[in-house]
Amino acid sequence: MALKIRLTRQGAKKRPFYRIVVADARSPRDGRYIEIVGTYNPMLEKGSEERVKINEDRIKHWVSQGAQPTDRVAKFMADAGIGEKVVRNNPIKAKPKAKAQERLKEAEMAAQEAAEAAAAAAAEAEAPAEEAAEA
């Protein structure tokens, strides 16, 4: 049985409150769970001690039994000093999509052509000045 340490949503409409639970990975988000190991209240200020409460002993027990925390719960655990922070990096996701890349290339080409035209105009403006100075 694959175990997950994850959040289940509680509370009223537009007033979320989450329980941190240990559950079978196949059960629904708000379905049956094995044990409640903490709470998370996003409605409180970030500096509040009541925002995230974790029972460290029980989480350590379940992690030793093979339970895998979700990304959000892993972040809470790292903030509490239980686990290590998971660093995720997906540089491909940050890249612009195909159409945006085409627009960027077109803008670069237009800027380059404008710079070349300005350089040519400056060269033409200098040429008559040089001829007049020589004469």
H/E run at residue 72: helix 71-80
Instruction: Compute the average pLDDT of residues 10-18.
Output: 95
Mean pLDDT for 1-27 is 94
Please give the C-alpha separations between residue 78 and each of 81, 93, 95, 107, in angstroms, as whole numbers: 5, 25, 29, 44
State pLDDT tens for residues 108-133. 999 999 999 988 888 887 766 556 55
CA 115 → CA 102, 105, 109, 120, 122, distances in Å? 20, 15, 10, 9, 10
Q: Which CATH number is 3-80's, of 1.10.3720.10, 3.30.1320.10, 3.60.40.10, 3.40.50.300?
A: 3.30.1320.10
Q: Where are the domains of the chain?
A: 3-80, 91-134
Task: Reduce the DSSP state of residue 105 to 3 states and report it.
Answer: helix
What mean pLDDT do residues 62-86 have?
90
In which order are the strands placed within the sheet that holds 15-24?
52-54, 35-40, 15-24, 3-12, 68-69
Going by C-alpha positions, the residue among 41, 48, 43 that lies closest to residue 20 is 41
Task: Tell me what the mean pLDDT of segment 19-41 comes to.
Answer: 94
If you average pLDDT over residues 75-95, what whole number do you get? 84
Q: What are the residues facing 52 on neighbouring strands?
A: 40
Distance in angstroms (rounded) separating the CA atoms of residues 130 and 17:
78
